[in-house]
Structure 1
Amino acid sequence: MPTIFLESKDNPKIKHLRGLIEQNNYRKKQGQTVLEGTHLCLAWLQENRKINSVFTTENALKHIDLEKITEQYQGVVFVIGESLYKDLSTLGTSLACLAIVDLPSSSQSLDFKADTLILENVQDPGNVGTLLRSAAAAGIKQIVCTKGSASLWSPRVLRAGMGAHFSLHTFENVELQDILEQFQIPVYVTSSHDSTSLYSQDLGKACAWILGNEGQGVSDYALQHAQAVTIPQPGGQESLNVAIAGSICFFEMVRQRL
């Protein structure tokens, strides 16, 4: 395993790595992103995808999980100091491993008859990643994000998704008005103020779910062009976290189909 030690934060490779971690526009321009942690890297490799470069620290170099990655990755491993790694890392406590990969390109078109999750201006990376993880677990393979939602392929969303991204078909920066009326299946939108219970819906066949912004909820357009449902809350809370609400909806769908 060839290794190269990098010491300066001004090294071009470190600057490139930092840009990919911190800047969405830079990721788009370069067509790359960063996987952080050995779990994500191993999940990526299990999908037979390529890693372009790996950054770690001297202490982590001989760890068994890192060795599992380098067994499948044939390139140079860049070794950086602990303090520099902590400065770059978004995790803080995981085994030191940052991998640069190409953003997946898809020629696939939206399937307007398939189970779909639509995220409308959902901004928190943790919520977005959790929703992708729950959707994948529930068998939803198609994810649509409108402009204003957190970037699906940012390191923070990837971290929260725990590898769910790698089995999904994703579409970003979509205008809701361009797609919503094309769906040939029921489209549901969650609303804490609607009286129609989630549990009264027939979810036995393919459907689409729209989940909205953490503070404002879904748009008026979404409410006007979809079936609004609410999750009964006997405890009287005003609303649920969007990731929890979405997960409840997905697994009520799974329950009915089982």
Structure 2
Amino acid sequence: MATIFLESKDNPKIKHLRGLIEQNTYRKKQGQTVLEGTHLCLAWLEKNRKLNSLFTTEKSLTNPEICDILDLYQGSVFVISESLYKDLSTLGTTLPCLAIIDIPSSSKSVDFEADTLVLENIQDPGNVGTLLRSAAAAGIQQVICTKGSAALWSPRVLRAGMGAHFSLATYENIALEDILTRFQIPVYVTSSHNATNIYEQDLTQAAVWVLGNEGQGVSDFALANAKAVTIPQPGGQESLNVAIAGSICFFEMVRQRQ
């Protein structure tokens, strides 16, 4: 394992790293993204996936969590200053650990008979990552994102997903009109208008969950091609956060199946 010290923020490797952290168009062009934090890096390596390069600080090289990563990693370690790491990091005060990976491309087609989460124009990275985390925990196998949703493999969504990405089949920039009517299983949307109580539904079989934009909800097309369900809110609030609403739906499904 080679240890290489990088001092300048203008070093090409640092510029490449910064571009992947900050720019979605650059990530798409390069086909790469960044994992930040030891948890994500270890989760990735434990799936027998490859880190292309690893960045940390000199002080952190002997940290036990970094050492656990180094035990599984065969490439070069780039050592940067604490100040440069803080300038690059999106996490703030955390153990310095940044890794570049290739963005996986799904090798299989959408399964139109499997539990599925469809994200329609959900834009907040935290919401998207949380929904992926809940979906994976509930046993959902695949996630489909329409154009306009937050990029699934952005560092912020990856951070919120806490490794959920690594056990899901993911598809991005899919037109809802191209896939929704092809499913051979029930399709549900969350809505407060003309909807039926989710707790009155039979969710024991595979299903599709369509969740919509934080402010506008699902599209008219989704409403016309799915069954609308609502979550009772006796406290009288106007609406639930989309990630919370989705998680409630997923785990009502789990509850019924157990």
Shift of 1:126: 0.4
Q: How do residues 181-200 of structure 1 correspond to structure 2 at under 5 angstroms?
A: 181-200=181-200
Is 1:71 aligned with 2:85? no
| 1:2 match | 2
User: How far 1:61 sits from its partner (Å)?
Assistant: 1.2
**Equivalence for 2:47:** 47
Unaligned runs of 5+ in 1: none
Does the 8 Å CA contact 1:125/1:160 hold for their aligned counterparts? yes
Counterpart position of 2:245: 245
Poorly superposed stretches of 4+, deviation over 3 Å: none
Q: Secondary structure at the match of 2:100?
A: strand
Distance 1:192 1:47 in 2: 40
Query: What is the CA distance between 1:228 and its match in structure 2?
Result: 0.3
Aligned to 1:173, what secondary structure does the other structure show? coil
| Structure 2 residue matching 1:21: 3-state secondary structure | helix
1:236 maps to which residue?
236
- Residues 204-233 of structure 1: CA distance to partner in whole angstroms, max 9, x if unpaired? 000000000011111111111100000000
Counterpart-to-counterpart distance in 1, 2:8 and 2:195:
59
Provide the C-alpha distance between the structure 1 equivalents of 2:41 and 2:2, rounded to a whole number of angstroms. 19
Q: Which residue of 2 aligns with 1:166?
A: 166
Counterpart AA for 1:94:
T
Q: In the TM superposition, what is the alpha-carbon distance from 1:192 to its structure 2 partner?
A: 2.1
Could you tell me how far 1:39 is from its partner in structure 2? 0.2
1:115 aligns with 2:115: yes
Matched with 1:26 is 26
Q: Which residue identity does 1:46 align to in structure 2? A: E
Alignment partner, residue 12 of structure 1: 12
Question: How many equivalent pairs are there?
Answer: 258
Q: CA deviation at 1:247?
A: 0.1
- Residues 67-105 of structure 1: CA distance to partner in whole angstroms, max 9, x if unpaired? 011111111110111111111101011110000011112
- Once the two structures are superposed, the pairs formed by residues 31-180 of structure 1 within 5 Å of their partners are 31-180=31-180
Secondary structure of 2:122's counterpart equals coil
3-state SS, counterpart of residue 4 of structure 2 = strand
The separation in 2 between residues aligned to 1:16 and 1:244, in whole angstroms, is 35
Distance 1:129 1:10 in 2: 31
Distance in 2 between residues matched to 1:51 and 1:195, nearest whole Å = 46
1:62 to partner: Cα distance: 0.8
- Could you state the TM-score of these two structures normalised by the residue count of structure 1? 0.99
Superposition CA RMSD, Å: 0.7
* Counterpart contact for 1:197–1:231, Cα < 8 Å: yes
Distance 2:192 2:89 in 1: 37
- CA shift digits 1:102-134 (9 cap, x unpaired): 111222001111000000000000000000000
Contact 1:192–1:238, Cα closer than 8 Å, also in 2: no
How far apart, in 2, do the equivalents of 1:192 and 1:70 lie?
Answer: 50
Alignment TM-score, normalising by the size of structure 2? 0.99
**Unaligned residue ranges in structure 2 (runs of 5+):** none
